Amino acid sequence: MRFLSIGKNWQDQSACILSGSVDAIMGDEPFATRLAAEGKVFILANPAIPELSPSIPGLGFLHATLVTRSDVINDQPEMAATMVRILRRTLEWLASHSPQEVVAQLYRGGTAHPRHAGYVTKGGSRRQR
């Protein structure tokens, strides 16, 4: 499994998933749910809407949705399940570590930019000082 940056606009995200260039996207909202509402993709996980993914930690924090096409679910169900497990494990790790530990992990072997080191957790959300 590879992770790619595909852009943060409707045209890029919808073109990549619908053309088959990628098997799934962690799409910005409202793009991902728009694709799902049009019946073009299936939601694997939506941390922004707790009712859709109640067992995933970090609900309400992310404003993105993990979606894939029906052919991926049918042809590669284990890969679809793996994508959800990776998301769950990542969010569990984030929820159980301090902002400083997150920054340290992101910059393992390097030095964190002061802008990133200034993030703190207040009331369950991350804000920059």
pLDDT in tens, 61-118: 566 788 899 999 999 999 989 988 888 888 888 888 887 787 777 777 665 555 555 5
Query: What pLDDT, on the 0 to 100 scale, is given for residue 129?
Result: 36
Query: What pLDDT, on the 0 to 100 scale, is given for residue 39?
Result: 93
One domain, residues 89 and 123: no
Instruction: Give the CA distances from residue 94 to residues 48, 57, 64, 114, in Å, rounded to whole numbers and listed in that order.
Output: 16, 9, 16, 20
Query: What pLDDT, on the 0 to 100 scale, is given for residue 116?
Result: 52
One domain, residues 60 and 122: no
One domain, residues 91 and 122: no
Count of domains observed in the chain? 2
One domain, residues 11 and 72: yes
pLDDT in tens, 12-25: 888 988 999 888 88
Residue 42 has φ and ψ, to the nearest 5°, of: -120, 140
Q: Give the range of the structural domain holding residue 24, as residue numbers without chain letter.
A: 1-96
One domain, residues 116 and 82: no
Query: What pLDDT, on the 0 to 100 scale, is given for residue 54?
Result: 66
Question: What does the DSSP 8-state code read for residue 110?
Answer: S
